Amino acid sequence: MEIPFAESYKIKMVEPLRRSTRDEREQWIKSANYNLFNLRSEQVFVDLLTDSGTGAMSHYQWSEMMLGDESYAGASSYFKMKEAIQEITGFPHFLPTHQGRAAENVLFSALIKSDDLVPGNAHFDTTKGHIEFRKATAVDCTIDEAYNTTLDHPFKGNIDLAKLEAVYKNNPVEKIPMVIITVTCNTSGGQPVSMQNIREVSALSKKYGVRVVFDAARFAENAYFIKMREEEYVEKSIRDIVLEMFSYGDAMTMSSKKDAIVNMGGFIGMRDESLFREASLYNIMFEGYITYGGMSGRDMNALAQGLREGTEFDYLETRIRQVAFLGRLLRDAGVPVQYPFGGHAIFIDAKRFLPEVPQEEYVAQTLAIEIYKESGVRAVEIGTILADRDPNTRENRYPNLEMVRLAIPRRTYTNNHMRYVAAHIINLHEKRNHIKSGYRITYEAPIMRHFTVALQKV
């Protein structure tokens, strides 16, 4: 008999989940103005809104919490975190921040000016928000293959070197403070970037004198894919792959809520001391003194431990195989999902799932709402609402892909939960022809509207 794959951990503490009826959910989502962020967590059975800060810490991490040093300056917890960051990323300088977007805020305050261009592979929404907030422009240079959800390509997060070079050639280099490589690329479906591509982007950027910055939220998952898919790395350890990846960069921003498996935290890693000094000023203004930067000592301890656990092969294998388990159940039943499966989430192609709902009626949001009503599973729209309006024309930006993301929290749900999610979505897919219309916006904020948007049925 074939031996099934089994998780590399066991469960010591549990949290009850509440079931609900379809009638209750229809009422709740209406009261929430059809915005899934407005639901209360008790109204959700399996919460796949995000894998950010929602993972389960290990007993080693919890024991580190008890050892936290809460001194304002020079806490031992700061040095624990510094040591772990140096060991794992190789960056000699670092600043703690309370989460990933705070790291962006601090670093970009030092580096980005108005009218700058910041090329990259499909920047995450907070990254783009922090660029546009400074009246600069994010230029998407992702390879075209990323936008065909059925095409099998091992590294759909890769940057197209020709697109990148065009940005470098056609603009004064002083207007390009950095290129951002997001590993894995969340926006294109949790898709990895190959080491070869990282190396080539770095070489090209060096030639033009442009800094390479990693948006490293899911760097360990990216390293796992490099090991599994890039021949020369099969025998290398995750830690060695991570060190090589970061060796091609000048800085990194980190949301520790992902691959460092903590509920809150972030940091900036930097190679250059002068950049560290400049960023320190903003860190003190926005986050706190440079030896805590918005984090408590206990959280810095848990983060240091989480970075080590998050870069262990057995952990990553369990994690990424669970995501693929859900992906396979859906794909085998004919549900249109981004393929190959991403590292942290399964992305459903909403235009192919609901072909009759117009893109102008927010097709991906419509699907996320239907999934919630059907199952109590909360997913998130990665489509037109998230893409926001063009800052100049104020027109809706219609992205190439309208997706619903099922993000899997780390070490949190079992494969039976994955079966539950898949069965409901497969049932909905069978009834999809009944869904013909979507929603219109009744309220939206001027930037990052998806969090607070209010909607009404068309």
Residue numbers annotated as active site: 72, 124-125, 215, 217, 258, 450
The answer to whether 255 and 266 are in contact (CB under 8 A) is: yes
1-40 mask for ligand F0G (x: CB under 6 A)? ----------------------------------------
The answer to whether 92 and 271 are in contact (CB under 8 A) is: yes
For the CB of residue 21, give the shortest distance to ligand F0G in the complex, in Å: 28
d(CA 350, CA 358): 11
Candidates 101, 227, 298, 410: give the one binding ligand F0G (CB under 6 A): 101
The reply to whether 54 sits near ligand F0G by the rule CB under 6 A is: no
For the CB of residue 433, give the shortest distance to ligand F0G in the complex, in Å: 31
Candidates 48, 57, 110, 217: give the one binding ligand F0G (CB under 6 A): 217
Candidates 25, 134, 211, 257: give the one binding ligand F0G (CB under 6 A): 257
d(CA 272, CA 201): 19
For the CB of residue 12, give the shortest distance to ligand F0G in the complex, in Å: 26
3 state DSSP class of 221:
helix
For the CB of residue 450, give the shortest distance to ligand F0G in the complex, in Å: 11
Candidates 127, 205, 301, 375: give the one binding ligand F0G (CB under 6 A): 127
Q: Which of residues 263-302 bind ligand F0G (CB under 6 A)?
A: 266
Question: How many residues in the shown chain lie near ligand F0G by CB under 6 A?
Answer: 15
Q: Which stretch binds ligand F0G (CB under 6 A): 93-101, 110-118, 391-399, 434-442?
A: 93-101
For the CB of residue 53, give the shortest distance to ligand F0G in the complex, in Å: 7
Terminal Cα distance for the chain, rounded: 53
The reply to whether 100 sits near ligand F0G by the rule CB under 6 A is: yes
d(CA 244, CA 90): 9
Candidates 61, 77, 182, 301: give the one binding ligand F0G (CB under 6 A): 182
If phi > 0 it is left, if psi is from -120 to 50 it is alpha, else beta; for residue 123 that is beta
* Sheet containing 117-120: order of strands: 93-97, 266-270, 251-255, 211-215, 178-182, 117-120, 137-140
Neighbour-count burial for 37-75, b at 16+ CB within 10 Å, e otherwise: ebbeeebbbbbbbbbbbbbbbbeebeebbeebbeeeeeb
Helix count (H) and strand count (E) of the chain?
16, 14
For the CB of residue 172, give the shortest distance to ligand F0G in the complex, in Å: 28
Candidates 35, 52, 58, 191: give the one binding ligand F0G (CB under 6 A): 52
The answer to whether 395 and 360 are in contact (CB under 8 A) is: no
The reply to whether 255 sits near ligand F0G by the rule CB under 6 A is: yes
The answer to whether 398 and 42 are in contact (CB under 8 A) is: no
The reply to whether 121 sits near ligand F0G by the rule CB under 6 A is: no
Q: List 119's β-bridge partners, or say none.
A: 139
Q: Which stretch binds ligand F0G (CB under 6 A): 94-102, 284-292, 436-444, 446-454?
A: 94-102
For the CB of residue 213, give the shortest distance to ligand F0G in the complex, in Å: 11
Candidates 35, 43, 50, 158: give the one binding ligand F0G (CB under 6 A): 50
Provide the H-helix boundaries in 125-210: 125-133, 161-169, 195-208
The reply to whether 105 sits near ligand F0G by the rule CB under 6 A is: no
Q: What's 432's DSSP letter?
A: G
**Axis-axis angle for helices 59-66, 297-310 (nearest 10):** 160
Q: What does the radius of gyration of the chain's CA atoms come to, in whole angstroms? A: 21
Q: Which stretch binds ligand F0G (CB under 6 A): 99-107, 157-165, 335-343, 354-362?
A: 99-107
Residue whose CB is less far from ligand F0G, 32 or 106: 106
Residues engaged in binding ligand F0G (CB under 6 A): 50, 52, 99-101, 124, 126-127, 182, 186, 215, 217, 255, 257, 266
